[in-house]
Chain A
Amino acid sequence: DVKVTQSSRYLVKRTGEKVFLECVQDMDHENMFWYRQDPGLGLRLIYFSYDVKMKEKGDIPEGYSVSREKKERFSLILESASTNQTSMYLCASSQPGTGTRSKLFFGSGTQLSVL
C-alpha cells in the first residue's frame, strides 16, 4: 500500500523553538507539497518541490522553510515557532503530469500546537 508518512500526529512546542516536520513517501514521486489547514480557511499551500533540492514558495511561505535532500523526504521547518503557526500540517506527494495520474496522496497530518 502506498504511503505518505508524517513523523508525528501531535506536537506541542514553545514559542521561539525551531520545529522540524518530517514527511516521507515510498512511491518514488517527484512532487511533494506542504499545506496547512485551519478552520474557516481551508488548505493553504506553504511550499512545494518538483525535484530533489528544488523548492518553490506557495501562497503562505512566511515563517517557514523547507528541505529536500532526498527524493522521498520533504521537511518543513519553522525557524522560530509562533502561536499563529498552531495548525494542522499536511504533507502530500504526486507524480508529475496531469489528470488522475497526478492526484495527490496525503499523509495523516501533524497537529502542531505552539504555546
Chain B
Amino acid sequence: SQELEQSPQSLIVQEGKNLTINCTSSKTLYGLYWYKQKYGEGLIFLMMLQKGGEEKSHEKITAKLDEKKQQSSLHITASQPSHAGIYLCGADKTGNTPLVFGKGTRLSVIA
C-alpha cells in the first residue's frame, strides 16, 4: 500500500520564523492534499496539488509538488501562533480512492 512519510514529526519555531514540512511518497502520486488540524479537532483542507512542479499558496502557506510527483513540501513564511497545529499530507493513489495520510507534523509556534 502507498506510504507517506512526513518530516519532521514535530517542530518548534519562534514566531516570525520560516519553516518547511516535507511529505514523501513511495509511489507516484495522483494527487496530494494538505490539511491542518487544531488539537483535538477535525481536519481543515489547505491545498491540493496534482501536476508535477505545481505550486500553490494560501496566505503565508505555500505548497509544492516535485516534478516526479513523489514529494511535496509545505512552507510557512513568518510563522504566527495561529499556524500552530498538526499538518497532514494525504495522497490520492489513482483518483477517486480514499486518501491515505501521513502521520502528521506537530507545529508549535512560540513567542
State the A residues within 8 Å of B (CB): 4, 33, 35, 40-43, 45, 48, 58-59, 88, 90, 92, 96-100, 102-109, 111
Contacts and interface: CB of A to CB of B under 8 A. Distances in A.
Given A4-B42, A109-B40, A97 B96 contact: yes
Given A42-B104, A109-B42, A104 B96 contact: no
Interface of B: 1, 30-31, 33, 35, 40-45, 48, 50, 88, 90, 92, 95-96, 98-104
Given A43-B101, A106-B43, A98 B92 contact: yes
B103 A48 contact: no
B88 A43 contact: yes
Nearest to B48: A100
A20 B100 CA distance: 24
13 contacts: A42-B103, A48-B98, A96-B96, A100-B48, A102-B96, A103-B33, A104-B33, A104-B43, A104-B45, A104-B90, A107-B42, A109-B41, A109-B42
Nearest to A97: B96
Given A35-B101, A42-B88, A106-B43, 11 more contacts: A42-B103, A88-B40, A90-B43, A98-B30, A98-B31, A98-B96, A102-B96, A104-B99, A105-B45, A106-B44, A107-B42
A43 B43 CA distance: 11
Contacts of B42: 4, 90, 106-109
Contact of A42 (B33, B50, B96, B101): B101
A99 B1 contact: no
Contact of A45 (B44, B48, B98): B98
Contacts of A42: 88, 101-104
A108 B100 CA distance: 19
Contacts of B50: 98-99
Contacts of A99: 31, 48, 50
